[in-house]
Amino acid sequence: MKTLFGRHFLSFDELNFDEIMQLFKTAELLKAETRMRRFQPLLANRTLGMIFEQTSTRTRVSFEVGMRQLGGHALFLSANDLKLAKGEPISDTSRVLSRMLDAIMARIFSQANLETLAAYSSVPVINAMTDMYHPCQALADIFTIWEKRGKLEGLKFAYLGDGNNVCHTALISCAKVGMNVYSASPEGHDPDPAVVERCREYARAWGSEVKLVRDPKEAFQDADVIYTDVWLSPGQQGSEEERKARFMPYQVNNAAMKLAHPKCLFMHCLPAKRELEVTEEVFESESSVVFEEAENRLHAQKALLVHLIP
């Protein structure tokens, strides 16, 4: 089997379709084994360092539990408790940590800093969310769609709301696997044009579409997957109250779900703000797969760790 040994995972752009499918097959196998409480020590004696500049529920627990289930260890490193907080350069931190760890997972605000960390690291660096990307989330998301719908190519994926880090990696991952991608945001909140351009390049290989639309109905119409995220992410300027009026037309509610395909999945990376980006009714509906999506963080990331860590 081809492997991703030793590679970084920084934005999702690194993976091609075959590699994504290999990760899915591994995730599917590991998920079935986990359900039977059978754990193979595929990463025995390996240690993952987990740098967090921000709080986390899903990412921290899924990586930590994942490493333990694979026979290895995970080391929680709050950025505030590292010498980084006292001004030690990220380049030095990276060279020190990569002499002791087998891989580094980092949730740090700045993508540029993450790329510096990776540039100086001799072990794989995994992006656990920056201001630009959230590739581990995207991997679990498209794995969930693949599990639920049995295919990806040709499905219509609609992202509604802020063109943020979650949006960027959702668009990249869906374009990479041949989905038709629609992204609807209020003016001034579109995803990064460079990301959209890359997605269009990926889509050209499939003959699929990547469309930015202003009218949310265009995105909702016949969608196979509807995805949203909070309207104000941690670290962003402004207030929720100020965003509410502008973003409310992009809310995922029953009227929106009625426009979509009858089997449409509702997805959200969590945590969600009910009655803002999604109504309670949709969040708790049969269309909602948000908790399976959250569980799949564990299985998809275990696959990623097995493929990346030599």
- Kindly list the residues in this chain that would bind ligand CP in the complex (CB under 6 A): 56-59, 129, 137, 269-270
Give every CB contact of residue 248 below 8 A, 6+ residues apart in sequence. Answer: none
- Decide whether 60 or 246 has the Cβ nearer to ligand CP: 60
Exposure of 187 in the CB half-sphere (CA atoms within 13 A)? 0
Identify whether the C-beta of residue 308 lies closer than 8 Å to the C-beta of residue 5.
Answer: yes
Give every CB contact of residue 234 below 8 A, 6+ residues apart in sequence. Answer: 54
Query: Which is the catalytic residue, given 107, 168, 243, 268?
Result: 107
- Whether residue 236 lies in the annotated active site: no
- Decide whether 94 or 137 has the Cβ nearer to ligand CP: 137
Please state, in angstroms and as integers, the Cα–Cα distance from residue 285 to each residue in 21, 120, 164, 277, following that order.
Answer: 29, 46, 25, 15
- Decide whether 102 or 229 has the Cβ nearer to ligand CP: 229
- Whether residue 134 lies in the annotated active site: yes
Give the nearest distance from C-beta 66 to ligand CP in angstroms: 13
Query: Which is the catalytic residue, given 46, 58, 134, 168?
Result: 134
Rounded distance between C-alpha atoms, residue 216 and residue 308, angstroms? 38
- Whether residue 297 lies in the annotated active site: yes
Burial of 1 (0-12, 13-18, 19+ CB in 10 A): exposed
Give the nearest distance from C-beta 271 to ligand CP in angstroms: 6
Give the nearest distance from C-beta 140 to ligand CP in angstroms: 9
- Whether residue 54 lies in the annotated active site: no
- Decide whether 133 or 182 has the Cβ nearer to ligand CP: 133
- Whether residue 299 lies in the annotated active site: no
- Decide whether 9 or 120 has the Cβ nearer to ligand CP: 9
Give the nearest distance from C-beta 269 to ligand CP in angstroms: 4
Query: Which is the catalytic residue, given 297, 299, 301, 307?
Result: 297
Identify whether the C-beta of residue 296 lies closer than 8 Å to the C-beta of residue 303.
Answer: no
Give the nearest distance from C-beta 89 to ligand CP in angstroms: 26
- Whether residue 73 lies in the annotated active site: no
**Residue numbers annotated as active site:** 107, 134, 137, 229, 269, 297
